[in-house]
Structure 1
Amino acid sequence: MKLPETGWTRDQIFTALAELRAGDLPTEGGAAFAYVYDSGERAASELAAEAYRLFLATNGLDPTAFPSLLRLENEVVGFAVRHLGGGPEAAGSFTSGGTESLMLAVKTAREWAREHRPEITAPEMIVPATAHAALHKAAHYLGVKLVPTAIDPVSFRADVAAIAAAITPNTILLTASAASYAHGVVDPIAEIGQLALQHELLFHVDGCIGGFLLPYFRRLGAKVPAFDLAVPGVTSVSMDFHKYAYAPKGASVIVYRDKALRRHQMYACAGWTGYTVVNPTVQSTKSGGPLAAAWALLRAVGDQGYLDLARRTLEATRAIVGALREIDGLRVLGEPEMSLVAFTGEAPGFPLFALADAMKARGWLIQPQFSGFGSPANLHLTISAGHLAVKDRFLADLRAAVAEVRSAPPDPGLGLLLQAAASLDFSNMSEEAFMQALALAGVQGGRLPEKMATINGLLDALPPAAREAAIVAFVNDLYTHAEAASE
């Protein structure tokens, strides 16, 4: 972007921004079943935005300069402690999102092991195949070996026996999900907690997507397994506010059983000529906006308000899952305990990714998930309270889309691509070669085709490492400073 000679007017700026925003995924109205969480309450969103703006310029780097942020964080974390079964010694921190919370859980385990298990020089963490990719990212960033374990192929929950077999003298951390993003099921937390106690290991429960909502589902009569800090062996839990508390992104929290454990997540540096740096979380400078917005929503919506939002979410989920099980040709994976649903084709060869395209053409975003690790390729729905009002229209469109794709001829382009892919050595391909391969699927100039079925079919057929390399090549090409793209 080249700066204008003279500054734009407010009207020019917001006209340009509105034009850009018009091409984005709608964040309200229930059209999206991924990436956004719609409460259906515009007044709550506007209140959160106002609180965000009020604290936009504050800096969470130094609580002595902005004591308001210290007060807000202590109150928000205090709510999280109670909500997640923590005792009087529990402590936590507000973070920018689930990824940062999980990064801190892994850093804490690494630093705890350095202090209490100094004989470990090659630390390992055990991660079920359904655990969020952010745990993989944390292991990669922090130099901890990730040990994946199998899942039950029917329930899609973590396999406790596989976790037990994977524990070695180098293990420093066990992990599990409440609930798993892909299938919406809660891992057997109590049983894994016993393993943690038996082997004197830290145990983190990723409740980023379920930690806020599951206790409300339990109060509404749903069968929700125990998963929080009240479970023996659990040493930390993460929970996002920008999911089912409907706060603006990014707003998350990680809660530990005590302050002594939380100390290991912190970083301090006095080895330079400036001020002494003390960072409770990964970020240093950070706006107080997300924290203020989360605090404001918790106060404004209140316990009964969130219980009502949970009731609407549960009702929408039950209606959609029930309807999915009645649509000929579709199969729900597992028994979702959350408002997260995965479904696939009943028979091999069902045009699953074409179904996602057909729904997109009707104005709905549903998320493709690729096969692997005991789970078939499927389509994912993240259901929010705002979907209750549109569920009937969504299901009518889904039935029509299923009929459409089942009657359509097979995609000849995908067959040719898969045949070509079978002869390629993806382990030694250059980034340029990857981009050439993606171009065969319609990806050119850093832009995706309108219909994604062909490229999704190709990606699903690739081994995970090759899939990662292909996507990295595409994203590396997508983010460009080309003047032609901005003028």
Structure 2
Amino acid sequence: MQIPSAGMDRDAIFDQLTEYKKDDVDWTSGRVFGYVFDPGADILAFGKEVYNRFLTENALDFTVYPSLLRLENDLVAMIRRHLRGNDQVAGNFTSGGTESILLAVKAARDYFREHKPEIENPEMILPSTAHAAFHKAAHYFGVKAVTVPVDPKTFRADVEETRRCITAETIFMAGSAPSYTQGVIDPIAELSALAEERGIWFHTDACMGGFLLPYFRRLGRDVPDFDFVLPGVSSLSVDLHKYAYTPKGASVVLYRNPELRKYQMFAFSRWLGYTMINPTVQSTKSGGPLAAAWAVLRYVGDENYLSFAQKKMAATQRIRQGIEAAGDLYILGDPEMTLLSFSSDNVNIFHIIDEMRIRGWYIQPSFSFQGTCANIHLSINLSNAGREDAFVADLNKSVEAAKKLPSGTLVKEVQKMMDASGRQAFLENAGDLLALAGVAGGAMPERMAPINEVLDAMDPEMREKMLLEVTNRFFHP
């Protein structure tokens, strides 16, 4: 493909875009449990309208667009109050949870570079349920990630094991409220107190729950403290494009005071161009997501968000009951929000996922790790409310269908290939695996179970290398 010599007709372009989208997941169906958080047509349309009004404004320089500075300060004020922060709590708007987490790790690293320069090889301690974004931050910023296994039954962070892992090089600890994986809240009070005792930066990853959990507390749920009411919490991340239903990408990273927040920023004037001062990772960025987030929070309002929380709480309970009533399935842990993971000891869960997709549902697989079996993940959304019974009925049908399907065929073929060529040569010829799995022309096969079985059978390091090889081939013209 090349740039056309003359401009194309706009309708022809839109027709082509429609054709490109035909195989995308239909997130408007209410049958998707991830990626898009759908509040309904009215809120979506309003958010898009505001987004478009600020689409071309550039948040690179707040002195040029003071409107964006005001919107950001207003938004941070709303969220810090929501999370029980005082007037000293400072923060910034970011593109998503990953950027918020990256900034918190970068801030901690730079804080300790200044205050404890004797630490040459900084470390951070993470529960094995901590979001992958922390490991991305470790990779980017040269901080060693020390992973601590969680309790195998509750899936919560192990405080005493965390304590044993602290060294003179430890600068950062984290916990989740809740974890994305099993939807349970780590013992944030105990972890943050430990961090405070040892002079370590503690971050609460509340990207999934930071906006919704305060509403669950108001609805009578026993929600443990995880926010700035705990003196040991140094920073906190909360996404708005999830359960606040603002357009992507929208997240906020908060710090206990401006002195800590200062270390997330970047300034540079040692070149012949303009002086660069970036509060967050991005330089040039559209004002659209920020303005839309500010506007949607005000448009929906607190009472409506409380009503949404009630509906999601009820939908989660109904789906959980349906899963637990199915004799072949069981819930992992004791979920505390709207996130569930479930598995089976005698039915191939990857076949269940395929069968559900055939019936029009999109659900996510999670691979086995550190003794936890492969499982199915659900992020239950407002749009899923009202479809619980249909979901449970189709899930039961999918389980019965999955029982009749063969497993392990592709795994055996791949093992033969690896035995014949060796691990490295097999990785370098990832195209052979794609062909064997029925992947052709960039299109994925209808059934992903054989591919997921192969990935699940690999150790995590091999799995990562294989995914890099395969992904590198997909992103090629």
User: Normalised by the shorter chain, which TM-score bucket?
Assistant: over 0.9
| Per-residue deviation, 1:34 | 1.5
- Is 1:378 aligned to 2:375, yes or no? yes
| Per-residue deviation, 1:412 | 5.5
Counterpart amino acid of 2:464?
E
Q: Distance in 2 between matches of 1:469 and 1:84?
A: 39
- Is 1:387 aligned to 2:384, yes or no? yes
Deviation by residue 1:77-107 (Cα, 9 ceiling, x = unmatched): 1111111121111100000000100000100
Corresponding residue for 2:23?
23
Counterpart amino acid of 1:416?
K
- Is 1:244 aligned to 2:215, yes or no? no
| Per-residue deviation, 1:430 | 6.0
- Is 1:368 aligned to 2:362, yes or no? no
Deviation by residue 1:229-285 (Cα, 9 ceiling, x = unmatched): 111211110000000001111000000000000000000000001111000000000
2:71–2:290: 8 Å Cα contact kept in structure 1? yes
Q: Distance in 1 between matches of 2:79 and 2:307?
A: 19
Q: How many pairs align?
A: 477
Counterpart amino acid of 2:244?
A
Q: Distance in 2 between matches of 1:412 and 1:465?
A: 21
| Partner SS state of residue 436, structure 1 | helix
Q: Distance in 2 between matches of 1:229 and 1:211?
A: 11
| Partner SS state of residue 456, structure 1 | helix
| Per-residue deviation, 1:393 | 1.2
| Per-residue deviation, 1:424 | 6.8
| Partner SS state of residue 451, structure 2 | helix
Corresponding residue for 1:36?
36
Aligned residues: CA RMSD: 1.5
Deviation by residue 1:401-432 (Cα, 9 ceiling, x = unmatched): 111112x1423523523643773787534643
Corresponding residue for 2:466?
470
Deviation by residue 1:135-160 (Cα, 9 ceiling, x = unmatched): 00000001100110110000111111
1:73–1:93: 8 Å Cα contact kept in structure 2? yes
Q: How does 1:137-152 map to 2 (within 5 A)?
A: 137-152=136-151
Q: Distance in 2 between matches of 1:321 and 1:231?
A: 31
Counterpart amino acid of 1:119?
E
Q: Distance in 1 between matches of 2:323 and 2:427?
A: 40
Corresponding residue for 1:3?
3
Counterpart amino acid of 2:379?
T
Q: How does 1:204-215 map to 2 (within 5 A)?
A: 204-215=203-214
Of 350, 353, 359, the match for 1:353: 350
1:417–1:458: 8 Å Cα contact kept in structure 2? no
Deviation by residue 1:344-373 (Cα, 9 ceiling, x = unmatched): 00x2x4211000000000110000000012
Corresponding residue for 2:436?
440
Counterpart amino acid of 1:464?
P
Distance 1:412 1:258, change over 3 A: closer
1:139–1:146: 8 Å Cα contact kept in structure 2? yes
Tell me which moved more, 152-161 or 21-30.
21-30
| Per-residue deviation, 1:443 | 3.2
- Is 1:166 aligned to 2:168, yes or no? no
Counterpart amino acid of 1:400?
K
Distance 1:117 1:429, change over 3 A: farther
Corresponding residue for 1:278?
277
Give TM-score, length-normalised by structure 1: 0.95
Q: Distance in 1 between matches of 2:230 and 2:450?
A: 45
Corresponding residue for 1:399?
396
2:350–2:448: 8 Å Cα contact kept in structure 1? yes
Distance 1:374 1:157, change over 3 A: farther
Counterpart amino acid of 1:127?
L
2:414–2:433: 8 Å Cα contact kept in structure 1? no
1:438–1:470: 8 Å Cα contact kept in structure 2? no
1:93–1:253: 8 Å Cα contact kept in structure 2? yes
Deviation by residue 1:447-486 (Cα, 9 ceiling, x = unmatched): 32210000101100100010001111111000112xxxxx
Counterpart amino acid of 2:392?
L
1:183–1:336: 8 Å Cα contact kept in structure 2? yes
Q: Distance in 2 between matches of 1:258 and 1:166?
A: 28
| Partner SS state of residue 471, structure 2 | helix
Q: Distance in 1 between matches of 2:434 and 2:456?
A: 13
| Per-residue deviation, 1:3 | 1.9
| Per-residue deviation, 1:439 | 3.1
Q: Distance in 2 between matches of 1:269 and 1:224?
A: 43
Corresponding residue for 1:479?
475
Q: How does 1:159-198 map to 2 (within 5 A)?
A: 159-198=158-197
Distance 1:426 1:149, change over 3 A: farther
Distance 1:412 1:148, change over 3 A: closer
Distance 1:417 1:182, change over 3 A: farther
Corresponding residue for 1:219?
218
Counterpart amino acid of 1:180?
S
Corresponding residue for 2:132?
133
Corresponding residue for 1:484?
none
Corresponding residue for 2:316?
317
Distance 1:331 1:245, change over 3 A: same
- Is 1:229 aligned to 2:225, yes or no? no
1:446–1:474: 8 Å Cα contact kept in structure 2? no
Counterpart amino acid of 1:28?
T
Distance 1:426 1:154, change over 3 A: farther
Question: After the TM superposition, which parts of structure 1 deviate over 4 Å for at least 4 consecutive aligned residues?
Answer: 424-427
Structure 1 unaligned spans of 5+: 482-487
Q: Distance in 1 between matches of 2:260 and 2:78?
A: 19
1:435–1:470: 8 Å Cα contact kept in structure 2? no
Tell me which moved more, 439-448 or 294-303.
439-448
Structure 2 unaligned spans of 5+: none
| Partner SS state of residue 89, structure 1 | coil
| Partner SS state of residue 254, structure 2 | strand
Corresponding residue for 1:97?
96
Identity of aligned residues (%): 49
Give TM-score, length-normalised by structure 2: 0.97
Deviation by residue 1:200-226 (Cα, 9 ceiling, x = unmatched): 111001111111111111111122111
Distance 1:412 1:200, change over 3 A: closer
Q: How does 1:295-306 map to 2 (within 5 A)?
A: 295-306=294-305
| Partner SS state of residue 22, structure 1 | helix
| Per-residue deviation, 1:378 | 0.3
Q: Distance in 1 between matches of 2:80 and 2:17?
A: 39
- Is 1:76 aligned to 2:75, yes or no? yes
Corresponding residue for 1:116?
115
Q: Distance in 2 between matches of 1:104 and 1:275?
A: 23
